[in-house]
Amino acid sequence: MTDTLLTADRVLPGPAGQAIVDGGVLVRDGAIAAVGPTDELLQHADAEVRRFPSGTILPGLVDGHVHLVLDAGADQQDIIRRFRERDDELLLEDMHTRAAAAQRAGITTLRDVGDSRGLVARLRDADATTRRLPRLLTAGAPLTIPGGDASFFGGAVDRGDLRSAVTERAEAGVDFISLMASGGHLSPDDAPAPYESQFSHEEIETIVAAAHDVGLPVTAHAHGTQAIVDSVSAGVDVIEHATFTTGPHEVNYDEKCVREMAERGIAVCITASLNWRRIVAQMGADRAHALFYGKLSWLYEAGVPQVPGSRAGTANSQSNDLVSALEAYEWAGVPREIVLDYATAGAARALGLAATTGTLAPDLAADILVVEGDPREDLGALRRVQAVMQDGQWR
């Protein structure tokens, strides 16, 4: 197979702070063979050269929080109704379309934090040889309580069956365990409130121990402060949302808990989509910053790893629009280079993928995004996609 050499005005190989002016990436047999100045790489005379003047080459993006089975309509209850009405084959067709759209937008890894009946695993396994879709990580149906948040996915468990529920998911081939530690917004009318815990500290410990025994990380969806504290203390690997809410429209950022997260390397995946701009417009910048988005810069300053997520599939959150989520980080005060790191190298580290993807380095998968312009100066450049490569294949 002929080598491929991609060249551009700049290469951002990752992690943050690294850049090569007039650089290139050499791809061989689906992997990165070399990264460096264009002049040096052009010595590989047998390579097919693709030039991107005024472009930037960077690692493919990682979206840390999606629901491929959901259709991102305008109303969450209607989304759930349509999900229940469609059979598995139709859902799989829709999921394929959404995953492919994400890939065309430069997202080469999707982490699906909740689906039903093992559909994402079926999609992942069907694509294992052709690699026509992004890399897919699946948790299957999230663990929740009967009538709890996200229970419509079919993952409700009896409190006495927590270990067996983890074992069932492990045997089904999930990549991680997804736990609804508190109430939330996926089931807006019938679930506990976001500030209410759904599992006790001891129950979360049981789930974490069972998962870690079989080599699976655990992500806890936790809006409530107590659920976050309990999940961190129990040793989960990632916290989703981390709203730190203690009551209706009440937020209590727990400094001690965040210090523990930073010390233990527990990552946070805070979801945002184009909805964040509407929320800011409705609530006002100061209140929106205080209740929702200020925590992005607070966690950054505290040294907590972060994994951006679009919450694709939920209301108005499309699978090809991770960039809107990234712009929320910048609005909250996180430097652009750090935001780019969160969406590439940082996400890969936090999700256990650093030996596979996330940076442009020899022997890693050739998951590559080329955009017009420099995203260090304007994150909007990530929307100006010139080329996408997944495992060395153009997409």
Q: How far is CA 38 from CA 25, 42, 51, in A?
A: 8, 6, 10
- DSSP3 helix / strand / coil % (the chain, rounded to 5): 35, 25, 35
C-alpha span between 224 and 248 (Å, rounded): 10
pLDDT of residue 132: 86
- The DSSP H or E segment spanning 126 is helix 119-126
Pairing of strands 250-251, 238-247: antiparallel
For 19-38, write each residue's pLDDT tens digit.
999 999 999 999 999 999 99
Same domain, yes or no, for 77 and 208? yes
Helix (H, G, I), strand (E, B) or coil at 279: helix
Rounded to whole angstroms, the Cα distance separating 212 from 306 reads 21
**What is the distance between the terminal CA atoms of the chain, rounded to a whole angstrom?**
17
Percent of the chain whose pLDDT exceeds 70: 99
What are the distances in angstroms from CA 100 to CA 96, 110, 388? 6, 11, 11
Number of domains in the chain: 2
What's the confidence (pLDDT) of residue 50? 96
Q: Does residue 291 have a pLDDT over 90?
A: no
pLDDT of residue 188: 65
* Residue range(s) defining the domain that contains residue 202: 61-350
Q: Is the domain of 120 the same as that of 156?
A: yes
Please state the pTM of the whole predicted model. 0.97
One domain for residues 383 and 247: no
Reply yes or no on whether the pLDDT at 167 is more than 90: yes
Query: Tens digit of pLDDT for each residue in 196-243?
Result: 999 999 999 999 999 999 999 999 999 999 999 999 999 999 999 999
Confidence of residue 190 (pLDDT cuts 50, 70, 90): confident
Q: Identify whether residues 282 and 346 lie together within a single domain.
A: yes
User: Average pLDDT for residues 155-160, to the nearest whole number?
Assistant: 95
Same domain, 365 and 218: no
pLDDT at 191 over 90: no
**Same domain membership, residue 373 and residue 269:** no
Task: Kindly indicate the confidence band of residue 12, based on its pLDDT and cuts at 50, 70 and 90.
Answer: very high
pLDDT digits (tens, 9 = 90+) for 337-360: 999 999 999 999 999 999 999 999
User: 263 with 374, same domain?
Assistant: no
Please give the pLDDT value at position 185: 86
- Same domain? 157 vs 187: yes
HSE-CB of 329 using CA atoms within 13 angstroms = 29
Q: How confident is the model at residue 273 (pLDDT cuts 50, 70, 90)?
A: confident
Q: Is the same domain home to 119 and 129?
A: yes
Report DSSP letters for 322-373, one per residue. HHHHHHHHHHHT--HHHHHHIIIIIHHHHTT-TTTSSS--TTSB--EEEEES
Average pLDDT over residues 89-99: 97
Instruction: Tell whether the model's pLDDT for residue 71 goes beyond 90.
Output: yes
Amino acid code (one letter) for 375: P
Res 46: pLDDT: 85
45 band by pLDDT with thresholds 50, 70 and 90: low
Whether 147 has a pLDDT exceeding 80, the answer reads yes
Residue 255: give its domain's CATH number.
Answer: 3.20.20.140
Same-domain check for residues 234 and 205:
yes
Q: Which of 191, 189, 200 is nearest to 156 (CA)?
A: 191
108 and 54 within one domain:
no
% of the chain exceeding 90 in pLDDT: 92
The stretch 141-145 carries a mean pLDDT of: 97
What pLDDT score does 43 carry?
86
**101 and 243 part of one domain:** yes
Q: What is the CATH number of the domain that holds 369?
A: 2.30.40.10
Residue 268 has pLDDT above 90, yes or no: yes
